[in-house]
Structure 1
Amino acid sequence: MKNSKWMMFGTMSVAVVALVACGGAEAGSSEQVIIYSNADDEAVEVMESTLDDKGYKGKYVIQSFGTSELGGKMMVEGTDIEADVVTMASYFIESAQASKSMFVDIASDAKPLDDGVTYALPILGNVGAIFVNTDVLEQKGLAVPKTIKDLTDPAYKDLVSFPNIMDSSTAWLLVQAIISEYGEEEGQKVLADLIKNAGPHIESSGSGPIKKVKTGEVAVGFGLRIQAIDAKKEGLPIDYIDPTEGNFTLTESVAVVDKEGDEALAIEIAKVIATEARSGLLEQYPIALYEGEQVQDEHVPAYLKKWDTALTVDLLEKHQAFFKEAQR
């Protein structure tokens, strides 16, 4: 759910070597699994520590991409992609499988709540929310917002930050909530007013808004709920609000690329990420994805919602067009 952190210079092997220099496994090993991921730093750290603890240190490297960049590679390259394992927004994995048939089945005893698919296992759930800097709200004499629409009040001019859906899928949580609650006609006006209020604070990264709320550059942001929960635990003057329009969710899953029968180690690693790393990921992203999982009451969003149809790349592109129209 973040922007690309690695620029694609030269060949992909150069990028892998760069990662190795930062502490990854030795490049060139025939037993080395290449993992492409769009996950946030916190999730990557959980995956790495779990894999290392389970005896896979030196047998994998992880390369990070933005959602759009990695999705584009999957849709263009299919099974020719260099990665052996992909952790990615579930809707992109499903769209890539429908278009390219690029993933193999992963047998698992784990039972996803949404019944899942045979070729991918969910690993984490992102949920959107409003978050505020309580000190800045008090200094500016602003009311605590209860809805996304509240943020269109001119009183919040230049004091609101949220991600750009053209760059970050975190913004899709915002757009889904607006369209679901207000429809496309009224929703277009709500989004246009929100864009106007944000001014220069529409961010290319999903973590951009929480950074600006933490520093007090803006009073209010929209992003991942867990970001505000973590900031509040750190003792910062940050609080989070579940907007009545809904806490929409996006899941990320792990899948194994079809390498014509040479996937045994990749499947092992994918299963470790989906099962053994799940407890750590659930702490960071407290959304139950499997039968039997429990989330602490304080972390359960008040208005948890899902889009009423399957999330697809086509739907994302439609909502991106909706966003661009509101910018005019």
Structure 2
Amino acid sequence: MNLKKLLALGLSLSCACSFLTGCGSGDTVDSGSGQASGAAAQVVLYSNADDEAVTAMTNALDAGGYQGQYLVQTLGTSELGGKLLAEGADIEADLVTMSTFYVVSAQEQNQMFLPLDFEVKTLAEAADYTAPITSQEGAIIVNTELLAQENLPMPKSLKDLGDPVYSGQLAVTDIQSSSTAWLLIQALADSYGEDGARKVLSAIYQNAGDHIETSGSAPLKLCRAGEVAVGFGLRHQAVADKASGLPIDFVDPAEGNFSLTESVAVIDKGDQTNPLAMEMAQCIIENARAELIQTYPNPLYAGEAADPANQSAHPMTFPEPLTFELFQQHQALSESAKP
């Protein structure tokens, strides 16, 4: 959900990044048909996923026999969303994993995805051309050592982040560049209405100052480095830092832990559709979820159960459907709250 480095541009780079693509020989074997498939047949996967999710997906693909038959390119949410909306089925990718609201909007605008030809048993209704891979929640992040050093109170709500006591000690993300910020704005808009959300958000931005960041992971990194005491970011990343022994803790805000899903979809390129893309989509859904749910604890499919110790205290869903239009509306709300 944040801006990331380019993982693969072509076969030569993928060989250098063999931990992702499994490149090692000129030709590989298609595990579905047993026919040789060279570099031209490789599936290009575009994704806005975090490193943890990319690792889980590539682990599943490699274990499923697709090692060397795909290239992964990660992009930020806004960048990939813009490509989907602007390029449609002409996009280079054969397969995408992306924030679901962008996938739905791209399909409505461009009719660019194929119906999935495998069974998808989701807990919530999903369009027939997409299947969720992760559900990511927001939370308040704190550096416990710096919080104590600066004699700052532990925040309990997002509204608390607007208290002047946190001035210069807060980092958040800009919704113009990262959908992580949408988790914060959804919570504020649901709890306080648009006018109330604007007021709270204005105070938050005032406290953040220069730390209204473009990357969804930046607030956590700033907390980790001790540059700020408090941030707002992805809950699962803070959970991992705390578990690793870093002086990082997290707070499930009183306004709720709102979530966004990311989903897989296959590009409809007509006669040029890569037949392996659908197979790989199925492999990701059927074989990566066991690893993914260890990091992203919200169950998405029938039969899944998350560790209760890893679940958020206040899981919430925004009362309106999450669409690109609503995203733009909340972007405008954010802009109006900036100093």
**8 Å CA contact 1:256, 1:263 repeated in 2:** no
**8 Å CA contact 1:4, 1:69 repeated in 2:** no
Counterpart for residue 82 of structure 1: 92
1:234: how far off? 0.6
Counterpart for residue 187 of structure 1: 197
SS of residue in 1 equivalent to 2:292 = helix
Out of 98, 105, 123, the residue aligned to residue 115 of structure 2 is 105
1:144 aligns with 2:161: no
Alignment map for 1:140-289 (pairs within 5 Å): 140-261=150-271, 262-289=273-300
Say what the alpha-carbon RMSD is for the aligned residues. Answer: 1.7
State the TM-score, normalized to the length of structure 2. Answer: 0.91
Counterpart for residue 45 of structure 1: 55
How many residue pairs get aligned? The number is 323
Counterpart for residue 10 of structure 1: none
Counterpart for residue 6 of structure 1: 6
Out of 55, 68, 78, the residue aligned to residue 68 of structure 1 is 78
1:35: how far off? 0.4
How far apart in 1 are the matches of 2:281 and 2:11?
19
Out of 12, 18, 42, the residue aligned to residue 13 of structure 2 is 18
Structure 1 residues without counterparts, runs of 5 or longer:
8-12
Counterpart for residue 96 of structure 1: 106
Matched-pair identity in %: 47
- Deviations along 1:191-245, one digit per CA (max 9) or x if unpaired, are 0000000111111111101111112111111110001100011111211110011
1:42: how far off? 1.3
SS of residue in 2 equivalent to 1:294 = coil
Out of 289, 295, 299, the residue aligned to residue 310 of structure 2 is 299
- Deviations along 1:221-280, one digit per CA (max 9) or x if unpaired, are 111000110001111121111001110000000000002153421100011111200111
Counterpart for residue 46 of structure 2: 36
**8 Å CA contact 1:16, 1:63 repeated in 2:** no
SS of residue in 1 equivalent to 2:221 = helix
Flag the 1:282–1:321 CA change in 2: closer, same or farther, 3 A: same
SS of residue in 2 equivalent to 1:166 = coil
How far apart in 1 are the matches of 2:194 and 2:161?
18
How far apart in 1 are the matches of 2:173 and 2:224?
15
SS of residue in 2 equivalent to 1:56 = coil
Q: Which amino acid aligns with 1:240?
A: F
Flag the 1:175–1:134 CA change in 2: closer, same or farther, 3 A: same
Q: Which amino acid aligns with 1:117?
A: A
SS of residue in 2 equivalent to 1:267 = helix
Q: Which amino acid aligns with 2:279?
A: E
How far apart in 1 are the matches of 2:179 and 2:15?
28
State the TM-score, normalized to the length of structure 1. Answer: 0.94
Structure 2 residues without counterparts, runs of 5 or longer:
28-37
Runs of at least 4 residues off by over 6 Å: none
**8 Å CA contact 2:172, 2:219 repeated in 1:** yes
SS of residue in 2 equivalent to 1:255 = strand
Q: Which amino acid aligns with 1:40?
A: D
How far apart in 2 are the matches of 1:15 and 1:159?
42
Out of 125, 133, 143, the residue aligned to residue 115 of structure 1 is 125
Flag the 1:15–1:163 CA change in 2: closer, same or farther, 3 A: farther
How far apart in 2 are the matches of 1:82 and 1:259?
10
How far apart in 2 are the matches of 1:159 and 1:16?
44
Q: Which amino acid aligns with 1:301?
A: S
- Deviations along 1:274-300, one digit per CA (max 9) or x if unpaired, are 120011111111111112211111111
Counterpart for residue 30 of structure 2: none
Q: Which amino acid aligns with 1:131?
A: I
1:14: how far off? 5.6
**8 Å CA contact 1:4, 1:67 repeated in 2:** no
